[in-house]
Each structure stands twice: as structure tokens, then as C-alpha cells.
Amino acid sequence: MRDLFAGLAFFAAGVATIMMARQFPTLPSLQYGPSLFPTIVGVGFCLGGAALAVNALLARRQLALARGTDNAPAPATQRMRPTMVLPPLAVLFYILASDYLGAALTMAMIMLVLMLVRKTAVVVAVIASVVVALAIYFVFSRYLLIPLPQGVLFEGGLPWIF
Amino acid sequence: MDILINGIGLVLNIETLLVIFLASLFGIFVGAVPGLTATMAVALLVPLTFYMDTIPAIAAIVTTSAMAIFAGDIPGTYLNIPGTPASAAYVGESYALAKKGRAREALGINLVCSVFGGIFGTIILIVVAQSLAEVALQFSAFEYFWLAVLGLSCSIFISVGSRIKAFLSLLFGVLLSTVGLDMMSGAPRFTFGVPDLMAGINFIPVMIGMFALNELISYYGSRSEKKNIGIDDSDSVFRQVPNHLKRYWRNMVRGSSIGTLIGALPGAGADIAAWISYGVGKGRSKEKEKYGTGNVEGIVDASSANNSGISGAWVPALVFGIPGDSITAIVIGVLYMKGMNPGPTIFMDSTGMIYALFLVFIVANLMMLPVGYAAIRLSKLFILTPSRILMPAILCFCIVGAFAINNSVVDIWLMLIVGLVAYLLAVNDFPMAPAILGLVLGKVVENNFMSAMLRTGGDLTSFFARPISAGLGVAVILLWCSPLLLRAYRRYRANRAAIAP
Amino acid sequence: MKKLTIGRKALCSSVVLTALLATTAQADYPERPLTLIVPWAAGGGTDATARTIARALEEELGQNVNVVNRTGGSGVVGHTAMINAAPDGYTLGLATVEVNTMHWLGLTNLTHEDFTPIGQINYDPPGIQVAADAPYEDLGDLLEAIRSAPQGGFTTSGTGQGGIWHLAFTGFLLDQDIPVDQIVWIPSEGSAPAMTELASGGIEAVSTSVPEARSMIEAGRVKSLAVMAPERLAAFPDIPTTRELVDSTYQVGAWRGIVGPQGMDEEVVATLEAALEAAYQSDTYQDFMSQRGFGTEWRDAEAFGQMMQEMDGVLGEIVEQVGLAN
């Protein structure tokens, strides 16, 4: 059943890709150009998606024939907890907040929340998140010279560590 | 003889050895952290090499890159998150072994194969660098096109499960590779007005999104705190190695040869070497059905190939000053900086520099054994640290790693978006590895195809006009037709069997 | 009343403070480390040049100069980062010739006018390279072959589409009254793949700077027929100039210079200009450049700005002629 949706989604993505590729320019000396490969990918998406959907339908009919009914329940999938949205939200939070809060504080906050969600002892969570955040910050900005955002909040430096 | 002794003296001194040791620790760290790759590690070393002598500077680069390629397997084995793209080909095998409580065994054989591959590549570099570079220089756009197509095809044929899904996953990667300025026309594609996207999509944020973010979402979506990986007291790093080597030494030699050759080709590096070697290994294996369930054979093939690829890439770099991969592209700059200009003259120089360079390779690869062993022992931390503390830390490393590749927030966005798409694909049983390969090779296929067409005015037969190109082309077509041929053969046999009585 | 005093006091002190800050910003500049943005990848020629000049600048300014690579998009990403930086003199950039081409190609809106020029530190003229076993003895043979080739039948390479060597070479053909559609430019990702193609017989001529072809020339696989410069290069005295061969004064090449964002304080610019000139003259920089075979050319802030202006017009015209204008 899910394969049916996945197949249809790929088919739609294929059509969208082909539409967008049509706007690309062509090379002067050839009939094709930058649009060729995206178009091939789009066609591939359509064909593959269609094949997937058709297979899913056939499999479903066979299943139904085998069981003699058409309303066989879908195989039970593992129920996911709503906390699954936390990692992407954490990344989003970092993107939005790190310029203001600075990389170190943002990371510490993310880790603290994520640890507490999984019922880590509060003391352990606070210590672990602060230590790891500072370690990452120092290794990357000091030794690997990656310009991690320092944070508008701490503009002018943190005298007690710098 | 004096030159040789001079060269040895340049390496076997406290300073150089200390640099090799420190660089190996750095390489282990970089390789083991998802999101930091060997190429990036070398780029980060460039400013430091300014303040070093020639040989320590080269030693630092050689050691770091070799070590990082090996260490990429550590998070791959324990967490199913490959540390570098070169490990993506066989991460499924080593993770499956780890789930059986054989993590150390997997890493042990991996380490030995990496050391062997690295030294094998070095010996090739010493003995036949000149002639191998000549071969590599015969490769033009036509040959690269076929080679990349071969790599792409391998990813479908070696993937486990639905071929259609592997194919769609591959196309997803290829589509990502078309984002950015098209090299042929200079026209921007799928950039949506974001200047950072003009640079194209870097595979590192994509890889982090596909593997790491995916694992993180699954972890936070499940109730279980239980680890997939257990500690098995009988699991030892080196105990099983002699057995495996006795059984699979041919794979090791074959993997190393393929790796060195592909590494030596400018425009194909360790990641492609690992894929093709893994594919060839599976194709020739007597136990194909074991692949994907934790098969040592696949690990032997691919992990000796990626490390020998690292050494092989130095061949065209030293002989012609043409980089064999993204690491040697940086190395050439450092060599020039140190007055060791690549070219045939480098082999004739009288100060023993070239011998020192060869020796650095050997020492650096041998250094992998003790440091790698210590790292494998230490990586028990992945199991001992509770997931609830380890996972948030990994998330932060991923964010910072994605940012660090270009110092750009756009790459964090990319990691997030691709990660979400990849999660949807993964829960629907789409394999992720073909998408990575599609992203890495998609551009190679397209650029070389267009380049070839542009110069021949769109003549498709030109892909079979040059001898090497024609050979590669036939190989690819045979590979594509092999399932059909096989089926036809089986049907023929079945028919005969049915008629016979 | 009291309230007012406090208010006024605060106002006064803040005015004094700002004034104080403003003066110290100029007098004590630089008082913290600087950042130098490089629009190309670590390990390349531009990166090496940037790191060397940064090291020389450190000695002059007494502050660290950290090199940050912002790569991609044919230089668009890095140059955009430069103009978006705060004009406080603490973020500079190593601008490259792409400043004069990107906007003509329709990749970005930024032009040389968005920068504060500080000083030009390098100039590399293009060379014309062919395979060592190619049938052309000299530049005249090559030009003749291009002229007599069927339209679009002569394959050349060296950079991407609209890259500096593409434009420089096409401009030279125009200068020699050869129609640009005689050649087909096979875009390549940098000079190294073009060199491989040249040696493997995939293409017929490559235009890049001579140092980029150096290892292949020394390996005997490639020969350089000419360099488009008024005088022979010090590092390659055997390569004749186009001036000697065909009496052409045409000159378009790749420059590199230090710039800042628009709106920088004049005194800060003056400080930087002086420091940069000293850094340019330093042994650190000069030795490095001559060892790599890179060309050195100094222009102060004003002359650098003028040069960018002129180059912009010339390159705009070539882009137009090649049909790449957007």
C-alpha cells in the first residue's frame, strides 16, 4: 500500500522535474543541453514510480485473491512516538537561533532538551550537554578554525574563556 | 645509496614520527565523527603545513587521509552512520556483523585490509608510477563516462531488495547532483535564487542527512532504549583475522588492485573504488546470498580498495601534477608550496626527498595498526555510553560538520531537508547508498557525456571509437544484460531438462 | 529634573563613548584578528596566494589574519560573502578576476563597484598550450589551423564556460580577426582536467596560465606556444610573447587583489593599503610567488579600482561577442 503512494509520489516528482528542466537553455551546437539529464531523471522517476505503483497494486490484488477478501488489513507497522520530530526541530532551532545565541549555547540547549526527553537524570544531562557543547565549540572554532557563530548575545567575546 | 639513507633520515626522526603519530590521532577523530571526511581533514591541515618542513607536512597529510578513510568504518559499524563516503558501500555489511556481536571482528579485518591496501598502493606507486600514470593519461571524457556509468550500475546490482527502489534512490542522488551551475552551459539549475546552491550540492551534508539524521529520527521515534549492538566477550579484534585472510586473500589482492587503478585515474577516487570493488566482489562470489547479512567477504574487497585508492591517487599527482582525487588536489598545492614540484623531475631529485615520501607512506600505513587497534578498543564507548546521551551529541556533531564544509548555513538546511526526504524513503525500504553514489557520480557521468558530445558534434558512436572506451562500454552493456542473459540461459536449461526425458 | 539629568548624562556619555569608539577604531586599528575570505577551495593557487599574503600581512599588522574558504558557484558565493561583511576593516577578501565576469554572465548582480579596493597583488597572463606531439610548430601554425578548420571544428579548453581563460582566448581570436565560432570551447572543471584531455588527445589546444601547465610542460607532454603578455615571464623565459610573434597588444588575464566591502573608513583603508604594499614587497610573498611561477603586479587602491573598471568593459564586450551575455 505504501509502495503505491511512494510510486505515485515519484511519478509526480518526475513530472515536476521534467517541467522545470524544460526551462533550461540548450547548448548552441547541440539539440540538447543542461535539460537532458534532469529530463532523463524525470522520465526515470515516472517509469520507476509507475512500476512501483503497478507492482503494489498487483501484489495487493494477489493478496486479496489469496485471502478471498479485498479489505485485508495492512501489515502492522511499528508505531512511532511523536518525539521523532525532535531531531529535525533541533536542527531548525540551531539554524534560527545560533546567530543570536551562539553555537555553544545553542548546542547545549539542544542536547539538554534531547537528553531530558529520554529521561536522563537532570544533573547528568546538564553536565553532559555543557561539557560536550563547549568541547565541540573549542575543537571546531579554535583548532579547526571553523567560524562557528559566536552569537550576538556575546558580542565582544566572553572574557572568562577567551 | 647515500640518497636512500638521506631519505630514511628525513623520516625516521623524532619530529616526523611525532607528526605521523599526532596526525593519525587527528585522522581517527575526523574519520570517526560523522560529517567530517578525509578530504576536509586534509583541507584543515593546509594552514598548519605552512609552518612545517616538507616531509613532516606530507607525512601529516598521508597519515591523516589514510587513517580517516579507515576510521570512517567505526561509526558505520557501531551506528550504521558511515564516517566518510568511502565507507558507504559496505556500511550495511559491517553494521549487520556488529548486530551479531562481531563489531570488533569486522573492524579488525577492516583495519588489516586497509593497511594492506594502503601498502599495496604504495608499492605500486614506487614500482610502476610512471607507466601507470601513462595509462591514466589515456583516459579522456569517453572513458570517464563509461567508468562512472559502471559505478552507477554497480550500486543497483549490488543493492539488496527491490531493484526499482534502488534505481529510484540512485536517480534521486543524480537529481541532487544536477543542482547548481551547469558546467557545460554555465546556466544555473534548480538553484531557486540561492547563491550558495550555485556551488552545487556537497555530498557531505547529504550523507549526514541520509544516514545520521535518519538514525536519530528512528531513535527518537522508538520507545526502546535498548542497543542493537551488544557486547560479546568472545569478540576480538584480530583473533579471526588469520582465518578470514586465509579464505579471502584473493579478494584482498583484487580489491587493492582495483582500488589502486581507480585511485590513479584523475576524476575517480576512493569512494568509487570501494563501490566497484564491492560490486566486482559480489559478482564473483560463490556466496552471493550472504551479501547484505554481514558478510566478511564484501568488507575485505571494499575496505582494501578504498585505502589503496588513497595511495593510487598519488600516482598522477606525482608524475604529472594532476590530482587523482580531491585529497591529492590539495596535496599538489602543498607540494608546490614546499618546492617539491610534481612532474618527472620529482623522481630524479638527488636529496632523497622521493624516498622519504615513499617511506612516509609505509610508516603511516603501518602506524594504522597500533593506533587503529587502540581506536577499535576505544570505540567500545559507542556501546558503553547510553544512547540518550550519545545521540544528542551526535546530532550536534552533525550540525557543526555540515556547517564546516563550506562555513555556510545553507548546508545545514540541506542536511535537514535531505534528511527528511531520506527518512521518508528509508521507512519505505528504499536503500540510501545508491543515492550517495548517484550524487557523487551523477556529475561525472553528465559532464563527461556532454563534453564528449560537444566535441564530436553529438556523435554517439564516438563512445566506442577509442579502444579503452569501447572495452568499458561493452563491459557496461554486458553487466546490464546479465540478468536477461542469465534468465534466458536458465530457461534454456529448464526447457532442455523438460524435453530430455 | 533628576530624571532629565540622568537622561542627559546618559546621552552625553553615550555620545562621548561613540566618539571615543570611533577614534579608537581608527587609531588602534587593528585591535583584533582579521578574516580574509577566499572564494576558491583550500589547496588551490588562489588559496595558497591568500595564505601567503595573509602571513605577510600578519607581520605588518601585528594581528592574526585568518583565511576562510567560501567556495563555489564560480566564485559567486565567496565574493557575495565579501560584500556582505561589516565594513569595519576586520573582514577582507581576496577578490579574483571573476568579479569582472560573473555579472556579465548573469550569475549575480555584484560588480567591482560593490567593493572597496585595497591593492592588487598578482597578475597572470594566459598562455596557449598544445600537446607536445601536436603538428603546430609555433603560434602561427596554430592560428592557421584554427582559421582553416571547419566551423566549430577546433576543440579548446582550459576552464568552465565563460571562465577567464575562455574569455581571454576568445578575445585573442577576435583580436586576430578570427571568428569565434571557429573554435568550440569544451568546458572543464579547472585546468588539471583540461591538461589531461590535452595529453590524452581529447582536445587540440588549452588556454590557461603558464604556471598551471608547468608540471605537464616539464613532463614533456605539453608545450606552450605563446604567452599573451608584453614581456616574457621571468619564470618561463623560453616562451615567446604574442607581442613578439604577432605584434598584438591584446592583454586580458587573471588578477587577484585584496578588497573590502563598500563603505570602509578611509583611514582604515589607508592603513591596510600601506600594510599590504609592505606585505607584497616582503620576501615571504615574493619568494613564494616566484617559486610557484605566479606573476606579481602591484597596484594601489586607486589604480586597482581603475584597472577593475577597465577590465570590466573589456570582458563585458568579449562576453557579448561570444554570445554568453545574460
| Chain A residues with CB-CB distance to B34 below 8 A | none
Is residue A73 predicted with pLDDT exceeding 80? no
Q: Which of B168, B222, B389 sits opposite A48 (nearest CB)?
A: B168
List % helix, strand, coil for chain C (3-state, nearest 5).
50, 20, 30
- Residue B449, chain C, CB below 8 Å: the answer is no
Helix locations, B33-182, DSSP H? 38-49, 54-71, 73-79, 91-99, 103-137, 141-157, 163-177
The string of pLDDT tens digits covering residues C208-250 is: 999 888 888 888 889 999 999 989 998 899 999 999 999 888 9
Is residue A49 predicted with pLDDT exceeding 90? yes
Confidence at residue C107, expressed as pLDDT on a 0 to 100 scale: 85
C-alpha cell at C119: 591593492
The string of pLDDT tens digits covering residues B437-495 is: 888 888 888 988 988 888 888 888 888 988 889 998 998 888 888 777 877 888 888 88
CB B159 within 8 A of CB B431: yes
Confidence at residue A159, expressed as pLDDT on a 0 to 100 scale: 42
**To the nearest whole number, what is the mean pLDDT of chain A?**
83
| Chain B residues with CB-CB distance to C221 below 8 A | 137, 320
Confidence at residue C286, expressed as pLDDT on a 0 to 100 scale: 94
From the list C121, C104, C108, the residue with the least C-alpha distance to C38 is C121
The string of pLDDT tens digits covering residues B261-314 is: 888 887 677 888 888 888 888 878 888 778 878 888 889 999 999 899 999 989
Chain centroid offset of residue C1 CA? 62
- Residue A46, chain B, CB below 8 Å: the answer is no
Beta pairing class for C115-124 and C91-96: unpaired
Confidence at residue C26, expressed as pLDDT on a 0 to 100 scale: 56
Confidence at residue C298, expressed as pLDDT on a 0 to 100 scale: 95
Residue contact A136–B216, C-beta within 8 A? no
C-alpha cell at C199: 595529453
Which residue type occupies C66? N
Interface A-C, measured as beta-carbon pairs within 8 A, has a size of 8
Quick one: closest CA in B to C75, which residue?
B199
User: Which of A17, A18, A37 to mutate to test binding with chain B, by most B CBs within 10 Å of its CB?
Assistant: A37
CB C187 within 8 A of CB B451: yes
User: A86: distance to nearest CA of chain B, Å?
Assistant: 7
**To the nearest whole number, what is the mean pLDDT of chain B?**
85
Chains that touch B (3 or more CB pairs under 8 A): A, C
Residue contact A107–B396, C-beta within 8 A? yes
Q: How far apart are the first and last CA of chain C?
A: 65
The string of pLDDT tens digits covering residues B212-243 is: 888 889 889 887 776 667 667 777 888 888 88
Confidence at residue A155, expressed as pLDDT on a 0 to 100 scale: 58
More confident residue, B160 or A51: A51
CATH class label, C34-124+253-322: alpha beta
Confidence at residue C9, expressed as pLDDT on a 0 to 100 scale: 46
Beta pairing class for B180-181 and B188-189: antiparallel
Residue contact B198–C292, C-beta within 8 A? no
Confidence at residue C317, expressed as pLDDT on a 0 to 100 scale: 93
Question: Same CATH fold, C126-246 and C34-124+253-322?
Answer: yes
pLDDT interval class at A154 (50, 70, 90): low
| Chain B residues with CB-CB distance to C162 below 8 A | 186
B window 475-494, beta carbon within 8 A of A: none
Peptide bond into C30 cis (omega under 30): yes
Residue contact A107–B185, C-beta within 8 A? no
The string of pLDDT tens digits covering residues A4-14 is: 889 999 999 99
pTM score of the predicted model: 0.82
Q: Match 589482492 to its residue by C-alpha cell.
A: B253
User: A124: distance to nearest CA of chain C, Å?
Assistant: 37
User: Which of B42, B44, B51, B175 to mutate to test binding with chain A, by most A CBs within 10 Å of its CB?
Assistant: B175
Beta pairing class for C65-69 and C34-38: parallel
Is residue C318 predicted with pLDDT exceeding 50? yes
Quick one: closest CA in B to A49, which residue?
B168
The per-residue b/e assignment along A116-140, b for 16 or more CB within 10 angstroms, e otherwise, is bebebeeeebbebbbebbeebbeeb
- Residue A90, chain B, CB below 8 Å: the answer is yes
Taking the C-alpha atoms of residue B437 and residue B441, their distance in angstroms, rounded to an integer, is: 6
C-alpha cell at B330: 590539495
pLDDT above 90: percentage of residues in chain B: 23
User: Which of B44, B171, B213, B405 to mutate to test binding with chain A, by most A CBs within 10 Å of its CB?
Assistant: B171
From the list B325, B198, B132, the residue with the least C-alpha distance to C193 is B325
Domain residue extents for chain C = 34-124+253-322, 126-246
Taking the C-alpha atoms of residue A21 and residue B188, their distance in angstroms, rounded to an integer, is: 11
| Chain C residues with CB-CB distance to B186 below 8 A | 74, 105, 107, 160-162, 187, 324
Confidence at residue B139, expressed as pLDDT on a 0 to 100 scale: 82
From the list C219, C197, C194, C53, the residue with the least C-alpha distance to C127 is C194
Q: Which of A29, A36, A48 sits opposite B167 (nearest CB)?
A: A48
The string of pLDDT tens digits covering residues C270-310 is: 999 999 999 999 998 999 898 888 999 999 999 999 999 99
Q: Match 610534481 to its residue by C-alpha cell.
A: B342
User: B454: distance to nearest CA of chain A, Å?
Assistant: 7
The count of other CB atoms within 10 Å of the CB of residue C290 is 13
Confidence at residue C12, expressed as pLDDT on a 0 to 100 scale: 46
Confidence at residue B336, expressed as pLDDT on a 0 to 100 scale: 78
Q: Which of B174, B404, B457 sits opposite A41 (nearest CB)?
A: B174
Q: Which of C43, C73, C216 sits opposite B195 (nearest CB)?
A: C73
Kindly list the distances between the CA atom of residue B422 and the CA atoms of B163, B416, B436, B440, in Å, as whole numbers in the listed order: 17, 10, 11, 16
Is residue C41 predicted with pLDDT exceeding 90? no
C-alpha cell at B269: 577516487
Is residue C126 predicted with pLDDT exceeding 90? yes
Chains that touch C (3 or more CB pairs under 8 A): A, B
Taking the C-alpha atoms of residue C292 and residue A86, their distance in angstroms, rounded to an integer, is: 51
Is residue B30 predicted with pLDDT exceeding 60? yes
Quick one: closest CA in B to C293, which residue?
B336
CB C128 within 8 A of CB C250: no
Interface B-C, measured as beta-carbon pairs within 8 A, has a size of 153
Q: Which of B186, B196, B319 sits opposite C160 (nearest CB)?
A: B186
Q: Which residues of A touch C (CB under 8 A)?
A: 28-29, 145, 147
More confident residue, B387 or A64: B387
- Residue B417, chain A, CB below 8 Å: the answer is no
B window 159-178, beta carbon within 8 A of A: 162, 164-165, 167-168, 171, 174-175, 178
ipTM greater than 0.85: yes
The string of pLDDT tens digits covering residues B71-99 is: 989 988 988 888 877 888 888 889 989 88
Quick one: closest CA in C to A147, which residue?
C68
Superfamily of domain C126-246: Periplasmic binding protein-like II (3.40.190.10)
B window 358-417, beta carbon within 8 A of C: 406-408
pLDDT interval class at C23 (50, 70, 90): very low
